[in-house]
């Protein structure tokens, strides 16, 4: 599924490149924004437990699997999606 086609409360599996990573230790979450060239979506995980999500960072391609919801800021956000880093190589 392309991010541009993603709607709220849909189960989805999307692939994109991490554009930003934010860790908020006060609120207790990690948030990444991914982009697939058609749109962007945020993904958020709690850090009140082990946080393997910290292994992903800007420039890493990822596959996310979860349910899109509308976040407090109005953006689509995947809450605690499954994720997998995808090896890729930029040709140049």
What are the sequence ranges of the domains in the chain?
Answer: 3-86
CATH code for the structural domain at 3-86: 2.40.50.140
Cα–Cα distance for residue pair 82/43, rounded to 1 Å:
10
Cα–Cα distance for residue pair 47/45, rounded to 1 Å:
6
User: Which residue would you say has higher pLDDT here, 51 or 17?
Assistant: 17
pLDDT in tens, 26-66: 999 999 999 999 999 999 998 876 666 667 788 889 999 99
The number of angstroms, rounded, from the C-alpha of 34 to the middle of its chain's C-alpha atoms is 5
Tell me the torsion sign for CA atoms 27, 12, 41, 35: positive
């Amino acid at each position: 599924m392309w991010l541009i086609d993603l709607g709220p409360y849909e189960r989805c599996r999307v692939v994109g490149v991490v554009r930003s990573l934010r860790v908020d230790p006060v609120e207790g979450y990690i948030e990444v924004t991914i982009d697939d060239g058609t749109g962007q979506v945020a993904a958020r995980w709690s850090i009140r437990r082990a946080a393997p999500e910290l292994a992903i960072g800007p420039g890493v391609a990822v596959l996310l699997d979860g349910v899109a919801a509308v976040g407090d800021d109005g953006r689509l956000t995947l809450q605690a999606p499954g994720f997998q880093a995808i090896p890729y190589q930029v040709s140049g």
